[in-house]
A = this chain, B = another copy of it.
Amino acid sequence: MDLNKMGQRAVSAKYELQKLSSEKKRHVLLAAAKELIADTEILLEENRKDIRKGEENGMHPGMLDRLRLSKERIGAMAEGLEQVAELEDPVGKVLEEFVRPNGLKISKVRVPFGVIGIIYESRPNVTADAFGLCFQSGNAVILKGGSDAINSNMAIAASIRNALKKNGICQDAIQMIESTDREVTSRFMKLNQYVDVLIPRGGAGLIRSVVENSTIPVIETGTGNCHIYVDEYADPDKALPIIINAKTQRIGVCNACESLVIHRSIADRFLPALAQALQSKNVEVRGDEMVCGLIGNAGKASEEDYGREYLDYIISIKTVETIDEAIAHINKYNTKHSEAIITENKENARKFLNEVDAACVYVNASTRFTDGFEFGFGAEIGISTQKMHARGPMGLKELTSYKYLIEGEGQIR
Contacts and interface: CB of A to CB of B under 8 A. Distances in A.
Interface of A: 15, 18-19, 98, 100, 104, 106, 113-114, 192, 196-197, 211-212, 215, 217-220, 235, 237-238, 241-242, 245-246, 249, 331, 349, 353-355, 357-366, 368-370, 374-376, 386-389, 391-392, 401-413
A357 to B, nearest CB: 7
Nearest to A245: B412
Contacts of A388: 113, 196-197, 217, 219, 388-389, 401
Contacts of A18: 354-355
Contact of A391 (B354, B370, B402, B408): B402
Given A197-B387, A412-B242, A413-B374, A406 B365 contact: yes
A359 B218 CA distance: 19
Contacts of A349: 407
A237 B410 CA distance: 8
Interface-central residue, A113, A192, A357, by most chain B CB under 10 Å = A357
Contact of A409 (B238, B358, B368, B410): B238
Contact of A408 (B353, B363, B404, B410): B363
Nearest to A351: B19
A112 to B, nearest CB: 9
By Cβ-Cβ distance, the 3 closest A-B pairs, closest first, are: A365-B408, A245-B412, A387-B401
Contacts of A212: 215
B375 A410 contact: no
B366 A249 contact: no
A376 B361 CA distance: 33
A361 B104 contact: no
Contact of A353 (B370, B405, B413): B405
B104 A404 contact: no
Interface-central residue, A238, A331, A364, A412, by most chain B CB under 10 Å = A412
A354 B237 CA distance: 55
B387 A391 contact: no
Nearest to A350: B405
B374 A403 contact: no
A361 B106 CA distance: 10
Contacts of A366: 411-413
A361 to B, nearest CB: 6
A70 B404 CA distance: 37
A192 B211 contact: yes
Contacts of A113: 387-388
A325 B145 CA distance: 36
Contacts of A242: 410, 412
B357 A114 contact: yes
Given A245-B412, A365-B410, A375-B106, A360 B19 contact: no
Contacts of A413: 245, 249, 366, 368-369, 374
Contacts of A387: 113-114, 196-197, 217, 401
Contacts of A369: 104, 406, 411, 413
Contact of A364 (B211, B353, B355, B409): B409
A104 B241 CA distance: 16
